[in-house]
Amino acid sequence: MSQKIDLDQRRFRKIIRGKIKDNLRKYISNGEMVARKGKDVVSIPIPTVDIPRFKHGGKQQGGVGQGEGEVGDSLGQDGEEQPGGAGEAGDRAGEHLLEVDVSLEELAEILGEELSLPRIEPKGSEKIVAHKDRFTGIRSTGPESLKHFRRTYKEALKRQISTGTYNPKAPVIIPIKEDKRFRSWKSEPIPQSSAVIIYMMDVSGSMGDEQKEIVRIESFWIDTWLRSQYKGIESRYIIHDAMAREVDRDTFFSTRESGGTMISSAYKLCSKIMQDEYPADEFNIYPFHFSDGDNWSVDDTVTCVDLLKNEILPNSNQFAYGQVESPYGSGQFIKDLREHFSGEESLVTSEIKGKDAIMDSIKEFLGKGK
Amino acid sequence: MSFRKPLPAHLQDMQQEIEIHARDFGLDFFPIIYEVLDYKTMNEVAAYGGFPTRYPHWRFGMDYEQLSKSYEYGMSKIYEMVINTNPSYAYLLEGNSLVDQKLVMAHVCGHVDFFKHNYYFSKTNRKMIDGMANHAATVRRHMARHGQGPVEDFIDVCLSIENLIDPMSLFISREAKPGGAQDEDVKETPRIAAKGYMEEYINPPEFMAAQRKKLAAEAAQQKRFPVEPQRDVLKFLLGHAPLEDWQRDCLEVIRNEAYYYAPQAMTKIMNEGWATYWHSKILTTKALKGSEVVDYADACAGVLATAPGRLNPYKLGVELLRHIEMRWDKGQFGQEWEECDTVAAKVAWDRRLGLGRDKLFEVRKLYNDITFIDEFFTLEFCIEQKFYSFGFNERSSNWEIMSRDFQKVKRQLLDSITNRGQPVIRVVDANYGNTGELLIKHEHGGVDLDMNHAKDTLRNLHKIWKRPVSIYTIVEDKGKLLRHGAEGYSEKTADAKEFE
């Protein structure tokens, strides 16, 4: 049943949406949402949706309670709300942060609008994955619940005019059984393309917690956006130091090794996964690689470039390399890539200087609509 | 009402039974119409403040979403709701147990009796369902003409000051008495006619000078506008702010509804106490079956639960009422009682007067929360019920129990319910600085304003008044003048004397 309150609720959601959009950069850089992610929704604390009023400030006010306890006993920590409604007579609602649930889909939409990200045009043949019922037609039989009010009256009007029973001075229209029109549906196959994101990350000693946090936040937003673009999307995770291995998501973000760095190892594994499991004509493939830009040797960098040129780039939609600034890394790798691939459309590089730069980096990665 | 469904027969029987008992006890209420609602509709109605239709506003949507969420997470549910109208509408939650419904019905009888007889409700509109619907129609009409955005934004502004009203003004006249207005032309200081050579003695120059000063001061006071500070800021703005007609309509709607809800905030403790007193009396002495006792006790315990640092108005109200009943039954009042200073004698005091019930009915008719607490919250009651005051300890960053001293606890309790817990704010000068600016003053009662909110509210007031708006208040023991004008917000320290 639709309720009157629905309209008010919709207005409220719209305001929330605006708030999120205004504060998107802040939300993105402090990474709060990542921790608040549920299955399909993220709860977001919205601070100022409250209506301002002249009211008493909290700390001096205090209140009265009832029950056991000695003078000096604690009732609650700072940062929590004042424990009780003082006197309860005042209306205290809305003093705390409001937590609203926003679906990932909505969030992706907001992200897309704010960064003006282009919709992705999938490549490759579309595999048919789903049928969907859509109300597209009209027919003359059907259940009352699907009756098309306007069409029905239109039919009745037509009939009455043609039979001469319509009197414009007393425009009464009475539909009979034959006039009734009902909405009808058709099952339509919905073609969908599949996609896979392959995340690669350098976990050698020089990548600290802060660097990983940046990767984590950035991957959350990349996930959110790409998921809104493709229905069936998979994520794979590769970590590497001098060796590469595939891991699950949790391990990906928590592992820390101390070894040296051979980026080619990761690219080799990536290329192997692509060849074995994701034929390029069926899948949209998005490899993302994050590191601090340190590589073992110039030779290895050459190997990387070869792998990219011959195996990874031709088979993927876009290869993204994000370089996180770290006090230990030389940051050389991004320069090498830029040198070798200048003018190459499907390879994007981005330097991420800190959490504040995440938003711009996302824009660089996803801004091409590939 | 839109969701009218006939009450199921078993609930009708229950209502009849409960109401017979309630009348036997002397309760006298408007006819009550019950509606059984599913939780979604219940949350909707609750978000609308108990009414089926309100003007469109996102805040109702927000409240609804929060209510629904906390219901779905199992954190809270709304047991009962009743609105102050004649006939009164009350809502029952579908799927509640029959004991719960019975309890709610008895509780509702208490509330409606209170609505009907308490003095502070005597001026409320008992046809408020229509009132609210009319308000909704007015606002919708303006939205259709001026666009939803501008109207909703303006309502945001109005809501931001909806607490600046004066509920007591309905019962007393605060208007300056007419007459006494000085004739503008009489500027001359009155003098006693005297012959030239006597002039210096009969109208001495020093005296004349003093008289001139006094008159000038009086004239300045007369020229002040408003002549007396105004508590009902909304009324003042309605009368004197440069508003468009549709804006005036909206502000009027908000003010009207604020006055409708004000008595409920003024009598929260008494009203809930009274309803709780009666549901417990009716159920435990009359309407409860043996098999229902455990469920009833469980529900009742939930209603009366206290938590650290939380004042439960149900608990405080019902306990204080019972305490009053006990005192008047035993004759523990009057001069003799007041002057008795031996504890043993006080404990054993019983004159067997049996006046308790009569006193309770008198209290429910004449008191509001402030007078109720002020008069009946006694030392004995405070100790017996283990009241304490709490506050924030800066050193430990903790909320702590501050005191169990009777005077301090009572003071704190009264402070926190004074003016419905809202700061007292008055319009002082509508021509501040002789430039048409608005000056309002916060009567500082020991608690500072929330500064963030104050700034935003000031900005909203500026939107209504159009000229700059200032508020004088005290921040951390220093006088401050906060101002919002076309150039934005500013604040400066200010001398209290200027604003007396």
Residues A194-207: tens digit of each pLDDT: 788 999 998 887 77
Instruction: Identify which of A46, A27, A20 has the alpha carbon closest to the alpha carbon of residue A358.
Output: A27
Identify the domain boundary among B366, B399, B417.
B417
> Are B339 and B439 in a shared domain?
no
Chain A CB within 8 Å of residue B62 CB: yes
Query: Tokens in use for B140?
Result: 């919708």
Residue carrying the six token digits 């020991």? B446
Q: Within a domain: residue A81? A: no
* Cβ separation A71–B450 shorter than 8 A: no
Distance between CA B297 and CA B333 in Å, rounded? Answer: 32
Which of B231, B311, B461 should be substituted to probe chain A, the one whose Cβ sees the most A Cβ atoms within 10 Å? B311
What is the CATH classification number for the domain harbouring B66? 1.10.10
* Cβ separation B309–A11 shorter than 8 A: no
Inter-helix orientation angle A5-22/B39-47, to 10°: 70
> Are B340 and B441 in a shared domain?
no
Residue carrying the six token digits 């003018």? A343
Distance between CA B134 and CA B73 in Å, rounded? Answer: 35
Chain A CB within 8 Å of residue B163 CB: yes
> Are A253 and A349 in a shared domain?
yes
pLDDT at A215: 87
> Are A244 and A218 in a shared domain?
yes
Q: Within a domain: residue A41? A: yes
DSSP A33-69: HHHTB-SSEEEEEESS-SPP---B-STTT-EEEESS-
Q: Within a domain: residue B444? A: yes
A343: Cβ contacts below 8 Å, ≥ 6 apart: none
Bridge partners for B441 per DSSP: B426, B472
The domain total for chain B is 3
Residues A90-145: tens digit of each pLDDT: 333 334 566 778 888 888 888 888 887 777 776 655 555 667 777 888 888 888 88
* Cβ separation B398–A78 shorter than 8 A: yes
> Are B63 and B97 in a shared domain?
yes
- Which residues does chain B have within 8 Å of residue A47's beta carbon, measured at their own beta carbons? none
Chain B CB within 8 Å of residue A95 CB: no
> Are A356 and A217 in a shared domain?
yes
Q: Within a domain: residue B133? A: no
- Residue B388 has its nearest CB partner, among A3, A5, A69, at A69
> Are B39 and B107 in a shared domain?
yes
* Cβ separation B308–A13 shorter than 8 A: no
What is the β-pairing status of strands A63-66 and A74-77? unpaired
B401: Cβ contacts below 8 Å, ≥ 6 apart: A65, A69, A70, A71, A72, A73, A75, B388, B389, B390
Average pLDDT, chain A: 80
Domain of residue B317, residue span: 305-417
Q: Within a domain: residue B165? A: no
The domain total for chain A is 3
Chain B CB within 8 Å of residue A2 CB: no
With H, G, I as helix, E, B as strand and everything else as coil, classify residue A119. Answer: coil
Q: Within a domain: residue B236? A: no
Chain A CB within 8 Å of residue B81 CB: no
pLDDT at A37: 67
> Are B398 and B444 in a shared domain?
no
Specify the long-range contacts of residues A26-34, CB closer than 8 Å, at least 24 apart.
A28/A217, A28/A221, A28/A358, A28/A359, A28/A362, A29/A217, A29/A355, A29/A356, A29/A358, A29/A359, A30/A355, A31/A213, A31/A216, A31/A217, A31/A220, A31/A355, A33/A107, A33/A220, A34/A216, A34/A217, A34/A220
Domain of residue A28, residue span: 1-52+95-114
- Residue A75 has its nearest CB partner, among B390, B413, B422, at B390
pLDDT at A223: 84
> Are B412 and B312 in a shared domain?
yes
The angle subtended at Cα A74 by Cα A70 and Cα A79, nearest 5°, is 160
- Which residues does chain A have within 8 Å of residue B262's beta carbon, measured at their own beta carbons? none
* Cβ separation A54–B422 shorter than 8 A: yes
Q: A126-135, A164-173, A268-277: which range is least confident on average?
A: A126-135
pLDDT at A91: 32
Chain A CB within 8 Å of residue B409 CB: yes
Chain B residue nearest residue A70, CA to CA: B401
Distances (CA, A) of B306 to A166, B214, B386: 71, 58, 11
Distance between CA B309 and CA A106 in Å, rounded? Answer: 39
Residues A283-337: tens digit of each pLDDT: 888 899 998 888 878 888 888 888 888 888 888 888 999 998 877 767 788 888 8
- Residue B401 has its nearest CB partner, among A71, A78, A91, at A71
> Are A254 and A348 in a shared domain?
yes
Chain B CB within 8 Å of residue A172 CB: no
Mean pLDDT of A254-264: 80
The angle subtended at Cα B126 by Cα B124 and Cα B129, nearest 5°, is 115
Amino acid making up residue B319:
E
DSSP A162-228: HHT---TTS------GGG--EEEEEEEEEEE-EEEEEEEEE-STT--HHHHHHHHHHHHHHHHHHHH
Query: Tokens in use for B32?
Result: 């009550």
CA distance B399 to chain A (A): 5
Residue carrying the six token digits 């109005």? B158
Q: Within a domain: residue A344? A: yes
- Which residues does chain B have within 8 Å of residue A9's beta carbon, measured at their own beta carbons? 61-62, 64-65
pLDDT at B187: 61
> Are A136 and A221 in a shared domain?
no
> Are A270 and A337 in a shared domain?
yes
Query: Tokens in use for A322?
Result: 């994000």
- Interface size A-B, in CB pairs within 8 Å, comes to 239
Distances (CA, A) of A370 to A119, A217, A316: 8, 21, 10
pLDDT at B125: 94
Distance between CA A90 and CA B262 in Å, rounded? Answer: 10
pLDDT at A2: 62
- Residue A65 has its nearest CB partner, among B161, B390, B448, at B390
Identify the domain boundary among B369, B401, B417.
B417
| Per-block mean pLDDT, blocks of 10 residues, chain B (500 long) | 72 95 96 92 92 92 87 78 94 91 95 96 94 96 94 95 91 62 58 79 84 79 79 94 95 96 94 96 92 90 85 94 96 91 89 93 96 94 92 83 92 89 92 91 89 92 95 91 93 84
Q: Within a domain: residue A82? A: no
Q: Within a domain: residue A237? A: yes
- Which residues does chain A have within 8 Å of residue B63's beta carbon, measured at their own beta carbons? 93
pLDDT cut 70: percent of chain A above it:
85
pLDDT at B126: 95
> Are B271 and B345 in a shared domain?
no
> Are B273 and B343 in a shared domain?
no
Question: For chain A, what is the largest distance between any 2 Cα atoms, rounded to a whole number of angstroms?
Answer: 93
Question: For chain B, what is the largest distance between any 2 Cα atoms, rounded to a whole number of angstroms?
Answer: 104
Q: Within a domain: residue B3? A: no
Residues A58-72: tens digit of each pLDDT: 666 778 888 888 888
Q: Within a domain: residue A336? A: yes
pLDDT at A84: 38
> Are B388 and B457 in a shared domain?
no
> Are A247 and A142 in a shared domain?
no
Residue carrying the six token digits 């001469």? A164
Q: Within a domain: residue B196? A: no
pLDDT at residue A40 greater than cutoff 80: no
- Residue A84 has its nearest CB partner, among B163, B269, B311, at B311
Identify the domain boundary among A142, A167, A189.
A189
Residue carrying the six token digits 């004995």? B380
> Are A135 and A260 in a shared domain?
no
Distance between CA A139 and CA A134 in Å, rounded? Answer: 14
> Are A275 and A132 in a shared domain?
no
> Are A133 and A207 in a shared domain?
no
- ipTM at complex level: 0.83
Query: Tokens in use for A31?
Result: 């990474």
Phi, psi values for residue B477, rounded to 5°: 70, 10
* Cβ separation B311–A65 shorter than 8 A: yes
> Are A107 and A138 in a shared domain?
no
Identify the domain boundary among A189, A213, A235.
A189
- Residue A63 has its nearest CB partner, among B390, B450, B457, at B390
- Residue B402 has its nearest CB partner, among A71, A86, A98, at A71
CA distance B302 to chain A (A): 15
Q: Within a domain: residue B325? A: yes
> Are B14 and B75 in a shared domain?
yes
Q: Within a domain: residue B232? A: no
> Are A217 and A350 in a shared domain?
yes
